[in-house]
Amino acid sequence: MNSLKMKSLAALAAFVLAGSTAALAQPSVMGVTVKGHVTDEIGQPGKGEIRFTKDLTASQKEQRFVNVTPIDANGNYEAKSVPPGDYFVYVYTGDISRDRQELVVKPQENATLDFDMTSERYTKDLTPERKKEIEDFKKNAAAAISANKVINNLNKTLANVRTDLAAALPTKADVSKDVSDMKAATDAKPDESVLWMVYGEALLGQADHLAAEDQKAGKAFLTDEDTLKLYNDSAAAYQKGVDLNAASKKPQPVDQAVAYNSIGNIDGKLGKVPEASAAYDNAVKADPTKAGMYYGNEAIVLYKANQADGAIAAADKAIAVDATRPDPYYIKAQSLVGKATVDPKTQMIVLPPGCLEAYQDFISLAPPTDPRVGQIKELLASLNVKIDTNYKAPSNPKKK
């Protein structure tokens, strides 16, 4: 036999030997997938985890689990790589065993095992005491589930209404549907403060819509009963929200302040000056950090109501807590300019004390593009009053 033939036979023998060895080796046993759905005692998706054990003769405390798989939010589970064999399969919630079934896992054969704790299989062996516990639990859980559904629906309503109101605000569009939705929301859960506050916001948005329509028609909104009712209902809804919030376990003063500010704005529109001032004062008490804004709003309302002295006082309060806001200076100056006198000797207009300084402060703080800046400069020029171009606005010495 030549050398080439000897080498070929040796290679063949090596190949056959290697193949024989592979054939004799034990194949690795791949696990299968076991999946299913868990239904708890009240018919809801089960919670917890699925545990597999082959220790069929050991006590439950001594059993070792070869696979532990979580149950998802929908009550489903999927245990992978479960080796073939005989099992006890448990449903555990925390350290408590809720249910158990036997399962034979066959090689290369996926399995499905559901747990229905409302079925006769589960309930037939329960003691009367346990059955009563489950019935009581069902009643309480049903009430909780119903309440959660209501809350979920209300949260969706709140989100939709807030989006609608924000979109409608610039154009004062019709938001009557949002009013209806929030009325239904407060009817469904009348003890929730945020619902009443958003209801107030929706009513205010619709009132502003009708007021804008009145203006287009050349009609004063104060003579429109429908518009007035919406404004008054809005203030009442905001107040209801404030009262519920204050009486709750976790009051939110910031939310109360926002509501009081809205009440002040509404009362101001309706010419209820004392009520508006009281509402703004309540807003400041609830959230002193926004005092400058709330007092500033009070000054605007009083100014529009031709209450000059009240507007000046409110502007001074706003300036005292935040000297960097330009609008209070403008309101103060405009309220003071009406008190100007005429010098009998020169027949020149004399501005009252503090008026020119307030104008100067406003000009110094307001953006140059603010049209009121040019108007004020023209006014002062017509009165032969010079503006100090080197004037600097005051800093903010204190804030509450």
Going by pLDDT thresholds of 50, 70 and 90, the confidence category of residue 351 is very high
Which pair of tokens denotes residue 99?
């249910």
Distance CA 275, CA 270 (A): 10
Longest dimension (CA), the chain: 146
Please write the tens of the pLDDT for every residue from 225-242.
Answer: 999 999 999 999 999 999
Residues 6+ apart with CB under 8 A from 400: 284, 288, 289, 291, 321
Q: Any idea which architecture 32-120 has in CATH?
A: Sandwich (2.60)
Closest CA to 338 of 317, 307, 374: 307
Domain ranges in the chain are: 32-120, 129-218
Instruction: Output DSSP code: residue 399.
Output: -
pLDDT of residue 142: 67
55 SS3 class: coil
Closest CA to 164 of 154, 178, 150: 178
Between 86 and 387, where is the model more confident?
86
Please write the tens of the pLDDT for every residue from 275-319.
Answer: 999 999 999 999 999 999 999 999 999 999 888 999 999 999 999
157 SS3 class: helix
Closest CA to 271 of 310, 313, 234, 305: 305
Going by pLDDT thresholds of 50, 70 and 90, the confidence category of residue 28 is very low
Distance CA 133, CA 139 (A): 10
Distance CA 3, CA 10 (A): 11
Q: Summarize the confidence of residues 335-354 as an average pLDDT.
A: 91
Report whether pLDDT(22) > 60. Answer: no
Q: HSE of 211 in the Cβ direction (CA atoms, 13 Å)?
A: 18
pLDDT of residue 29: 52
